[in-house]
Amino acid sequence: MSKRSVAVIMASFGTVFTGFAIRGSYGILLPEMLTSLRISKTQAGLIYSSFFIGYTLFSPVLGLLADRINVRVLLTLFLAILGIGTFLMGYSSLLSEACFFFALAGIGASASWSPVVALVQRWSIDKHRGTTLAFVDVGGSLGVAISGMIMPLIVMTYNWRMGWKGLGTLAFLTAGINFFLVRDYPVGKSNLENPKFSGRSDKPVSTMYVKILRDITFWLIGVSYLLIAFSVLIPYTFISTYAVQELMFPYDVATRLITVMAVSSIVGKLLLTSFSDALGRIKTIITCEMLIIIANLGIVFFHGSLAMHLCIAIFGFGQGAIWPLYAVCASDYFSRSSIGFIIGFWTLFFGVGSMLSPIIAGWVADTTSKFMWSFMLATATATMSIFLLFPIRKEKLIDNVEACTH
């Protein structure tokens, strides 16, 4: 691997690290924000959903643009937007302000996945695509793990507002790193020069996209992605608040659950994503989602500190590999020249699930005065996600537009 490849992959790692550190910190800072802003759990869910509204609206656009224009410019610009929105979260005093600022952060965060996936797969050797993408995605879990250790210290030393300001500063630094390190393609492999990436064909690009959108496999994976995103976001958003308010855990112990989740997800990413090259993506995804179901049931029925940490570790191990596995399905089942479009469109499904999840789960918790039914809802949607994957056949491994249009 060349020095330039290493630089691009490390910049991608940093981008995912920052995006997920900011996304994951919401659940860590939420217990303090609830009191300070005087908001309900439903309103807290609305703030988090605002992030995913911005994220969802722009992810398909950025995924499509990543196939067509300079990714370096995209990443630099949108990470700067992420920094602005996150930094301003530290100054929010009203629900409307928090929603607007976090929506702005979500717009910026849309650059931290779809364009990165397309970029990394351009710079990866075919037989190492799954492993390389898993390594980059480890940045997300590491970002959440480190924020889970640092944010509680910042909150106890200063306040939750300082946590958002520090994260905003991190986003600005990452924007600069992308500007200096990222390049779109390896030398001699531009989008026009390399048929592997360009998918040369007499068929127009629009025809290729229409064929993809007509493929039932595309929709089965997409809706499955939506449902598992809905499921995962419930513990991701509310586990610390649940531990503080219902299980009476101290704040530092409750937020440590986020760190346990993130650390175990790193192990899950590395092991399960590597196994998927031999076992198959869909079978591995189903295995991951079964672990998520088991963990959610454990969260509902086992309330001791040790049991809760074990359940969260199982949850993290399963959910850690979910995102890179769904992403690699794009090139397993469709043309590599369309990765940005497919990941961007599937991220739209992810965003819908993520937008609905915090609001509905928060409303359920407010209405029933317990988080139990919110976690049972997470179990149900994960189960539905599995059933949608059963009809999918073995990977097609289509590498050109012409094959995709037959």
The per-residue pLDDT for range 171-202, each reduced to its tens digit, is: 999 999 999 998 877 765 554 434 333 444 44
* In the predicted structure, residue 250 carries a pLDDT above the cut 80: yes
**Domain assignment present for 190:** no
Which has the higher per-residue pLDDT, 278 or 365? 365
Q: What is the 3-state secondary structure (H, E, C) of 165-226?
A: HHHHHHHHHHHHHHHHHCCCCCCCCCCCCCHHHHCCCCCCHHHHHHHHHCCHHHHHHHHHHH
Q: Domain total for the chain?
A: 1
What per-residue confidence (pLDDT) applies to 140? Answer: 87
**Domain assignment present for 192:** no
**Domain assignment present for 171:** yes
**Domain assignment present for 298:** yes
Determine whether 321 is exposed, middle or buried from the number of CB atoms within 10 Å of its CB (0-12, 13-18, 19+). buried
List helix spans (H) across 38-90.
41-66, 71-89
Mean pLDDT of all residues in the chain?
86
* Full DSSP string of 231-279: HHHHHHHHHHHHHHHTS---HHHHHHHHHHHHHHHHHHHHHHHHHHHHH
What per-residue confidence (pLDDT) applies to 278? Answer: 78
| 187 within 8 A of 313, measured Cβ to Cβ | no
**Is the pTM of the predicted complex or chain greater than 0.85?**
no
Distance CA 66, CA 306 (A): 44
Summarised one tens digit per residue, pLDDT across range 107-122 is 999 998 878 887 887 7
**Domain assignment present for 189:** no
Q: Which domain holds residue 387?
A: 3-183+204-404
Summarised one tens digit per residue, pLDDT across range 7-37 is 999 999 999 999 999 999 999 999 999 989 9
Q: What percent of the chain has pLDDT over 70?
A: 89
Average pLDDT (92-116) is 93
What per-residue confidence (pLDDT) applies to 81? Answer: 97
**Domain assignment present for 196:** no
Distance CA 210, CA 207 (A): 5
> How many other C-beta atoms lie within 10 A of the C-beta of residue 45?
29
Q: Comparing 5-14, 100-109, 204-213, which segment has the lowest mean pLDDT?
A: 204-213
Q: Comparing 41-50, 213-222, 386-395, which segment has the lowest mean pLDDT?
A: 386-395
**Domain assignment present for 194:** no
Q: Comparing 67-76, 144-153, 329-338, which segment has the lowest mean pLDDT?
A: 329-338
Structure tokens at 222: 């997409």
> What CATH number should be reported for the domain holding residue 250?
1.20.1250.20
